[in-house]
Structure 1
Amino acid sequence: MEARDAFMLYACPSLGALLAFCMFISPMRAVLAVNRRKQLGEVNPLPFAAMIANGMGWLAYGLHIHDYFVFGSNVSALLLGLFYVMTVSKFAEEKMQDLLRNILLALCCLFLAVSLVFMGAGLDAAGNKSLWGSTAVAILAIYYVSPLTTLAKVLRRRDSSSLYKPMLIANIGNGLLWFAYGLATHDWFLIMPNGIGAAFSVLSLGISLMLPATERNERLKQQRQQQQQEQGQLGSFSRRVSDSAAEDAVGGSAAGTRPLSWLTGIARMPGSRQTAAAGGGGVSPLAAEEAIHGPDRMLDAQNGTDFRAVAAAEQQALHVVGISAASRTHLGRFDGKDHSIV
């Protein structure tokens, strides 16, 4: 056996099986994102239904011709396709859910009809191969064309968010490898559909490269802006708490008591139970303490500081704003003594 024949008979289908798995796993991130945000967005569920049909067709064909490469490479197509459809269909519109259900029912009816013909028609080996091969080819054509169902929308909106570049690239490589394997085995059921499918994928990839993914890019931009705003607010609040802690460390040592001006910063935050009085320059420490614990927890300045009540106030306030353990230790040292909360 020549090296070229060995490459086309064994290396190409092995690489094709590996690349087929990459092709089938490529939508996983998008599917998990749909499940995480509980919204379908621009994800098109139709290719996933076609993936199920494609896997079933080539599993049947590979089983009939006793080809382990064809059979084994499509197991992941069937299993992953089922996972994708079951995951995203619950977030689709009712019309899309009905369409997916009808596609799967039609697929079951198709294989039932082909099985009846296979058992009752009395075809020879070549006829049975043509029967299952034609079925697999017809389904594969639908699978390769299915990303183009949104092509009119892509061209109209000039937005390629619904075309998955990783899947398209995997489709091209996968089609070329199986095309080579078909040439080596002289199997036109592998040559013709994989060559045409690779051409369709090249066309889809070219469109996705020419037109930007506007909606996807805008969504990512909004997420980054929101994260930056949240980080800025957290940093601003942390600086206010640190400044209040430094002031209290000086003022508390001089007076021998433990001021609560750091609670004022907490009370000023949006969503707190106490807001700054108009023109009053902020909330007093006692008002902040009362806002958190109520009158029964008020400090008695004349009779001394109730550090246990203050510790409880710290614990609740810091639990609300989510300050780190290091910050709690720092805020506990106001009067020269360590009153941090453990």
Structure 2
Amino acid sequence: MFEIFTQGFSFLNLLSILAFFTTVGLFFCGIPICRQIWKRKDTKEISGAPFLMGVVGGCCWMTYGWLKNDGTVKWVTGCQVILYTTYTIFYWCMTKKKLWITLKVLGVIGICTSLVLGVHFFGMKIFHPLGIVCLTLNIADFAAPLGGIRVVIRRWATSTLPLPLCIANFLVSTEWFLYGLLKNDFYLIFPNGVGSLLAFIQLLLFIVLPRKPGQRAPIVRLWLWIRGVKVEETKEIVAELGECDEKKMNRAQRWSQKIKMNVSTVAENWRM
């Protein structure tokens, strides 16, 4: 990965450096969760599954990089295993009910040990099965933010989607997609290509939908700005209807109110 300092500049080496720093930077997303646990002095209502899956995913890709002798993959996933292992140990120390998390940790240790032993004893015979496992884990990881898409559609706003994470996923998946193309590695190309597409779709939602209910979407604001129309932000529909009225209304009635409000707003804009 660091051949750029010894063998001269190349696009592949530069891309390797960028992929290393952006991906490892993404792995630090566990720190805010740990801070939240530290403030609570307990892990109640906070799942340790992301940390455990981070260890498993990192170990899978690390053994894959070991088989391919890919230095970039080994360095990045080595950092991932170290960081997520640290998060897991912290989670275990802070939780009060240690039996269930201990069983999970032992299960993860068993999986990682099996991966290392499998690579050691069977070598390239497990290359394709291991590649499929890594591919599946990557796609599941990139698609995770889409889990809240139902809330986004229901609220017709992107306030529940993490914009920084979506941007980071797009950058990381695109970099690894290009890296896979240069290395002609299908197991890097396919999952990161899908991840880049999913992240791009998530970013489009931030353009075509408002950040909060009742606001205008950025693309609508841009259109109004191009036309030179100055219109104040509409208040949230919930505030206009009143909390009591909203509770009494069913979903169809709420959507009807939203449609009426949008039609009246557009009519006002055209009159202006």
Band the TM-score falls in, shorter-chain normalisation? 0.5 to 0.7
Superposed displacement of residue 176, structure 1: 0.5
- Separation of aligned partners in 2, 1:67 and 1:163: 34
Superposed displacement of residue 27, structure 1: 4.1
CA gap 1:115/1:45 in 2 versus in 1, 3 angstroms: closer
Counterpart amino acid of 1:80? L
Counterpart amino acid of 2:71? Y
Q: What residue number does 1:83 align with?
A: 86
- Separation of aligned partners in 2, 1:73 and 1:17: 6
Superposed displacement of residue 151, structure 1: 4.8
Superposed displacement of residue 193, structure 1: 1.2
Q: What residue number does 2:140 align with?
A: 142
Match of 1:189 among 187, 190, 195: 187
Counterpart amino acid of 1:29? P
Superposed displacement of residue 202, structure 1: 3.3
Match of 1:6 among 10, 15, 24: 10
CA contact (8 A) 1:50 1:146 kept: no
CA contact (8 A) 1:159 1:212 kept: yes
CA contact (8 A) 1:31 1:87 kept: yes
Residues 234-268 of structure 1 deviation map (CA, whole Å, 9 limit, x = unaligned)? xxxxxxxxxxxxxxxxxxxxxxxxxxxxxxxxxxx
Which aligned pairs between 1:102-181 and structure 2 lie closer than 5 A?
Answer: 104-115=105-116, 117-118=118-119, 121=122, 125=124, 127-149=125-147, 151-152=149-150, 163-181=161-179
Q: What residue number does 2:219 align with?
A: none
CA contact (8 A) 1:13 1:69 kept: yes
CA contact (8 A) 2:56 2:112 kept: no
CA contact (8 A) 2:42 2:96 kept: no
Larger CA Rg, structure 1 vs 2: 1
Which aligned pairs between 1:243-258 and structure 2 lie closer than 5 A?
Answer: none
CA contact (8 A) 1:12 1:177 kept: yes
- Separation of aligned partners in 1, 2:87 and 2:128: 30
Residues 3-47 of structure 1 deviation map (CA, whole Å, 9 limit, x = unaligned)? xx931x211121001100121113423432442244669866433
CA gap 1:115/1:21 in 2 versus in 1, 3 angstroms: closer
CA contact (8 A) 2:52 2:84 kept: yes
Counterpart amino acid of 2:49? L
Q: What residue number does 1:198 align with?
A: 196
Unaligned runs of 5+ in 1: 215-342
Match of 2:21 among 18, 22, 34: 18
Q: What residue number does 1:274 align with?
A: none
- Separation of aligned partners in 1, 2:76 and 2:169: 14
- Separation of aligned partners in 2, 1:138 and 1:34: 30
TM-score by length of 2: 0.58
- Separation of aligned partners in 2, 1:162 and 1:42: 18
CA contact (8 A) 1:50 1:142 kept: no
CA gap 1:117/1:30 in 2 versus in 1, 3 angstroms: closer
Moved more, 104-113 or 24-33: 104-113
- Separation of aligned partners in 2, 1:205 and 1:79: 30
TM-score by length of 1: 0.48
What is the aligned-residue RMSD (CA, Å)? 3.9
